[in-house]
Structure formats: C-alpha cells, structure tokens
Amino acid sequence: MKVNTITLLENTIGLILAIFIVFQLLPNIEVCRKMNQPVYIILYLVFTVILFVTLNPIVGFLFLVYGYQLISRGKQESKRNETLKQLNPDKDVDLEEIVIQNSDFARIKNQDEDQVTRVKPILEKIVI
C-alpha cells in the first residue's frame, strides 16, 4: 500500500471512532453485555494492541476508549437489572388464581345456549 492510503485509512478510522465516542453511539445492549465476557475482553485487548502496533497510536487509544464505553455500559445495565429484580420481586400466586387456572369454567356460559360451542373461521371474509 502507498503511504497516502495508509494515512487516509488511519484518519478515517480515527474520525469514525472519535464521532462514536463524542456522540456516544454505542451498539444495542446485547452487544455490550457480550463484551463483558472474558473471551471477548481478551480478544478486544489483543485487537487493540494490534491497532497500536500497526496503525497510529492515537487510533489505538480511541479504540481503547470506545471499548471501555462498551464494557462500562454492559456493566451498568447488569447492575440495573439486578436492582430492578430486587425492587420487583416475584409476586405470590393467590388461591383464587390457582383455582381459576385449574378450572374448566373460565368461560361463563349462559344456561340457555348449547353446551357445545361452534366456532367457524371467517378469515377469508375479512378485507383489510
């Protein structure tokens, strides 16, 4: 590669990372949670070292800062979920709810109507 294309690539990557950091453009929370796993952290650090060696150290530093934002967002979300679970414990099921779940009389029928319910699909007649 020519020197001009390498510096153009470095400048482009650095600019994109700077925009991501300044405007806090982070991927969805699932990606941030994955970054908290040890395998991904090690891969991220290896890639950061490769960037420091092959490209401009400023690009490596920007990538390091962006990765820190990813990891810290994942940790904050994990702490938030734990706090929400503590604040909203599972509610106990009442006796009435158990009886209704286990009963067959969930639908109230009129005594005058047939005991057999006849339902015909009318999906073909519906026009949207």
Q: What's the gap between Cα 74 and its chain centre?
A: 9
Give residue-wise pLDDT tens across range 5-23.
Answer: 778 888 999 999 999 999 9
Where do the domains of the chain lie? 1-128
Cα distances from 120 to residues 100, 105, 114, 123, in angstroms, run 27, 22, 15, 9
Mean pLDDT for the stretch of residues 80-99: 81
Residue with tokens 């503590």: 86
Beta-carbon count within 10 A of 35 CB: 21
Return the H-helix or E-strand segment holding 128.
Answer: none
CB atoms within 10 A of CB 58: 14
Cα three-residue angle 30-32-34, rounded to 5 degrees: 70
Q: What is the mean pLDDT of residues 75-100?
A: 81
Please compute the mean of the pLDDT values over residues 19-39 and round it to a whole number: 87
